A and B are shown apart, each in its own frame.
Chain A
């Protein structure tokens, strides 16, 4: 559970299939817009995100760029790294940024570099956590405890992919495309629906109740505790396979066909469950396409849509408080009606 030199392997996480699949989809299709993980304590939420970030192949950046710009990034870099660094590129691990709850706005968006300003009079922007997370993962545990204005800001940046800073006489714009992963426990207070809707996927994780699973978790953690490197080595093959499937799916994604019939099915499904807004439909189809790509298929089938309906829609349903049925059940019902088995 605790971070050590080598992170806990992604493939060694017992169960939690839906969460792992949602993270993989988000890694394949960044436009999905992040993953919200609801669940109990100690279910391996942060372990899974951290493990996935560590698993991804290193990314190519302009050497020395403080914003992690890709060599051909269309968003201009405040440091003008393309001009300055020329053709030099570097390979760095995909960033995983854990946003501490006490973080100030300055620390998140960045601020004027005081030391530099005072020493040389130069107005230089000191990038914040958003720049650090560019092209990687931004993880917020217990997002329901984060200050509202910070949450709004994060979601805004996550959707636009850019961080705009207008303060202290600075006007800065830099790329901040990251996969936002939030976690929260619904027992500790509900999240505002507007906020929930911004997340592409939502998954419920539960502490595994099967004794055999629990024993396996305890054993794996114990082995990892005592020999992290040896433990990681036993999963090397599976990890490599996951990396390969992500890479293949990313290549395939633009070519995966979404037929008209699938578009219609998506719309009808959203209508049937009462998910408001275009965002739900779009996410549903994007998620279905990412699933198809991960499975190595050329076109989205009804089965793909059925598989992603719950994570893509369950947090968008209007709450019918007099109907006790949970969102997941309502979606499953609609799926059973609309998607031929």
Chain B
């Protein structure tokens, strides 16, 4: 993203060199001048005090670039959310020490209140617990008394792991999205911070300043049309883009939005949110994912006529927005599109589930109640409950706290074993459609039971020459239905690839603290894969043995009309229960899975 600023067709005003007349007093966030950051980052800093923008989501690992960005924030007003923060850290609570000393309840304000009117930095935002993320999202809506601090989220996720993603509820509410992953600072300056030259290589083609371009008559339409073309479903995006455009205009002392403001907002707000390339220059997306907005009409085709000055004008403007947004397209979008994968809301299905993945021993909350019947005493919470009363209660001679039944607090754990069933479905050959339909039915049946069991289901389909994770682990029936709707079938049987991917998915689930179960649905004949030296079936056997040694429970369902020894051999290598189901049906599959689960 280093070249982000440079690639814009028109200049971005840089924080430090905003030209002619800077009329307004810069309240309340006067960011320090930081010439080495990429132009977009500087612009984001300059726009910090725009009302209603919520904050900035920055994709950046810890490092000098991030430090430079943090250093540019007004230090006095900046607070940082500790990694171990809980809801109490955000909202405040009883101050135990002070309460015990004073003999009356003393409340400690939470970070949200303390940082109110300032900035709250959230590092490792992708690891933020779902409850905290939701709390921050509520605060961003201004629903609570008092101001919400401006949030600066650092997203340190690698992008490879779908499980690690910033809560979409927050991401959606933060106007500015920045990617500093590839931003670089001149090494010489890092070694010698005393001499920082102005706008170094981060901004090679320093744009000609003060050319704001023509005034845009209808920026709302331009942003909305561009957002639709970029596949941005949330309506907040164009609203925020408009806010940023206004702010950028007034930052440069203009009252009307010009092309430069349009481009700045496009690069900061719309580009990073894009989920598709604008129609016309994209490799045609193979399949529309059903929850995407229907393919938006090419901007201009369907303009509401009363709104724009002229349809052509508006189309030009929205093209301008798209062109500017292109500079800030999320990394990997092109690859993802080329691979035929439609980006879905990142990690959307998981945040809730992650919270409940408690088998590794995370508490599921504290509430009043007596220990026993599986409930464990929450000592600190109990002491906290008793603390304010110590002066009022009859004094104990042994100097101990006086604790009564009402003070007792218990900690609860979610003790249920949480299973993830990974289906590996052979989508090859002529019987593929029937098999897929039954696998789909089984997935949905299992998810319907998931209310009770908190089970998750994933589905790997293999056909042709590769395997794909068609349904990442989820317990959302809605999501499963959507993603399984367009399963294609036919082609060869790349058994080895299918088993390998299945094992990786299952192992990842185990790493999350869940119990994976593998269910293979196939007719047992591998005919794709392997090498010159290794037949497809031999390669499949090797992959099956890998599952066997991983110790993951599995069931192998052979659904060929007449079971062959091939399937049984694979099942034996996997150490799987072998089930022959010539007449495959969903409830039989579920029965087999349940049998495995109770084994």
Could you say which residues of chain B place their CB within 8 Å of the CB of A212?
302, 304, 307
Residue from B221, B236, B353, B391 within 8 A of A189 (CB atoms)? B353
Name the segment of A81-89, A219-227, A267-275, A296-304 touching the other chain: A219-227
Residue from A102, A115, A193, A209 within 8 A of B104 (CB atoms)? A115
CB distance from A189 to the nearest CB of B (A): 4
Could you say which residues of chain A place their CB within 8 Å of the CB of B221?
215
Beyond A40-B233, A215-B225, whether A2 also contacts B293 by CB under 8 A is no
Name the segment of B139-147, B502-510, B574-582 touching the other chain: B139-147
**Do residues A145 and B448 form an inter-chain contact, with CB atoms below 8 A?**
no
Report the Cα distance A192→B453, complex, angstroms.
11
Look across to chain A and name the residue whose beta carbon is closest to the beta carbon of B445.
Answer: A321
Beyond A214-B228, A215-B220, A321-B444, whether A144 also contacts B352 by CB under 8 A is yes
**Do residues B475 and A189 form an inter-chain contact, with CB atoms below 8 A?**
yes
Report the Cα distance A121→B303, complex, angstroms.
70
**Do residues A3 and B352 form an inter-chain contact, with CB atoms below 8 A?**
no
Beyond A187-B345, A188-B349, whether A149 also contacts B367 by CB under 8 A is yes
Name the segment of A41-49, A171-179, A307-315, A332-340 touching the other chain: A41-49
**Do residues A141 and B134 form an inter-chain contact, with CB atoms below 8 A?**
yes
Could you say which residues of chain A place their CB within 8 Å of the CB of B233?
40, 207
**Do residues B90 and A188 form an inter-chain contact, with CB atoms below 8 A?**
no
Q: Does chain B have a CB within 8 A of A259?
A: no
Report the Cα distance A196→B98, complex, angstroms.
43
Q: Does chain A have a CB within 8 A of B169?
A: yes
**Do residues A118 and B103 form an inter-chain contact, with CB atoms below 8 A?**
yes
Instruction: Give per-residue flags for B221-245: 1 if the beta carbon is below 8 A from chain A beta carbons, else 0.
Output: 1011101100001111011001100
**Do residues A41 and B353 form an inter-chain contact, with CB atoms below 8 A?**
no
**Do residues B104 and A217 form an inter-chain contact, with CB atoms below 8 A?**
no
Tell me the chain B residues, 434-465 only, with Cβ under 8 Å from chain A: 441, 444-445, 447-448, 450-451
**Do residues B235 and A207 form an inter-chain contact, with CB atoms below 8 A?**
yes
Chain A: interface residue total (CB-CB under 8 A): 55
Q: Does chain A have a CB within 8 A of B91?
A: yes
Report the Cα distance A312→B235, complex, angstroms.
28
Instruction: Give per-residue flags for B570-589: 1 if the beta carbon is below 8 A from chain A beta carbons, else 0.
Output: 00000000000000001000
Name the segment of B179-187, B423-431, B476-484 touching the other chain: B476-484
Interface residues on B, range: 35 or more
Instruction: Give per-residue flags for A98-126: 1 if the beta carbon is below 8 A from chain B beta carbons, else 0.
Output: 10111001000000001101110100000
Could you say which residues of chain B place their CB within 8 Å of the CB of A324?
481
Instruction: Give per-residue flags for B524-548: 1 if the beta carbon is below 8 A from chain A beta carbons, else 0.
Output: 0000000000000000000000000
Residue from A2, A186, A209, A226 within 8 A of B478 (CB atoms)? A186
Report the Cα distance A43→B141, complex, angstroms.
13
Residue from B138, B367, B444 within 8 A of A322 (CB atoms)? B444
**Do residues A114 and B142 form an inter-chain contact, with CB atoms below 8 A?**
no
CB distance from A196 to the nearest CB of B (A): 10
Could you say which residues of chain B place their CB within 8 Å of the CB of A46?
141, 143
Q: Does chain A have a CB within 8 A of B77?
A: no
Q: Does chain A have a CB within 8 A of B515?
A: no
Instruction: Give per-residue flags for A1-36: 1 if the beta carbon is below 8 A from chain B beta carbons, else 0.
Output: 111100000000000000000000000000000000
Instruction: Give per-residue flags for B388-401: 1 if the beta carbon is below 8 A from chain A beta carbons, else 0.
Output: 11011000000000
**Do residues B138 and A141 form an inter-chain contact, with CB atoms below 8 A?**
yes
Instruction: Give per-residue flags for B358-399: 1 if the beta carbon is below 8 A from chain A beta carbons, else 0.
Output: 000000110110000000000000000000110110000000
**Do residues A142 and B234 form an inter-chain contact, with CB atoms below 8 A?**
no
CB distance from A53 to the nearest CB of B (A): 12
Beyond A105-B367, A319-B448, A321-B448, whether A41 also contacts B141 by CB under 8 A is no
Look across to chain B and name the residue whose beta carbon is closest to the beta carbon of A119.
Answer: B104
Could you say which residues of chain B place their CB within 8 Å of the CB of A319?
448, 477
**Do residues B138 and A188 form an inter-chain contact, with CB atoms below 8 A?**
no
**Do residues A118 and B134 form an inter-chain contact, with CB atoms below 8 A?**
no
Report the Cα distance A221→B90, complex, angstroms.
29
Instruction: Give per-residue flags for A142-179: 1 if the beta carbon is below 8 A from chain B beta carbons, else 0.
Output: 10110101000000000000000001110000000000
Residue from B88, B224, B368 within 8 A of A167 (CB atoms)? B368
Report the Cα distance A309→B543, complex, angstroms.
53
Could you say which residues of chain A place their CB within 8 Å of the CB of B345?
187
**Do residues A211 and B302 form an inter-chain contact, with CB atoms below 8 A?**
yes
CB distance from A97 to the nearest CB of B (A): 10
CB distance from B456 to the nearest CB of A (A): 10
Tell me the chain B residues, 463-504 only, with Cβ under 8 Å from chain A: 475-479, 481
Q: Does chain B have a CB within 8 A of A208?
A: yes
Most chain B CB within a 10 A radius of its CB, from A105, A147, A185, A226: A185
**Do residues B220 and A102 form an inter-chain contact, with CB atoms below 8 A?**
no
Q: Does chain B have a CB within 8 A of A75?
A: no
Nearest 3 pairs of A and B residues by beta carbon: A102-B87, A189-B352, A3-B142
10 contacts between A and B (CB under 8 A): A118-B103, A119-B104, A144-B352, A190-B478, A207-B233, A211-B303, A214-B227, A215-B224, A215-B304, A222-B242
Given contacts A207-B293, A219-B220, 5 further A-B contacts (CB under 8 A): A145-B131, A189-B353, A190-B477, A211-B225, A324-B481
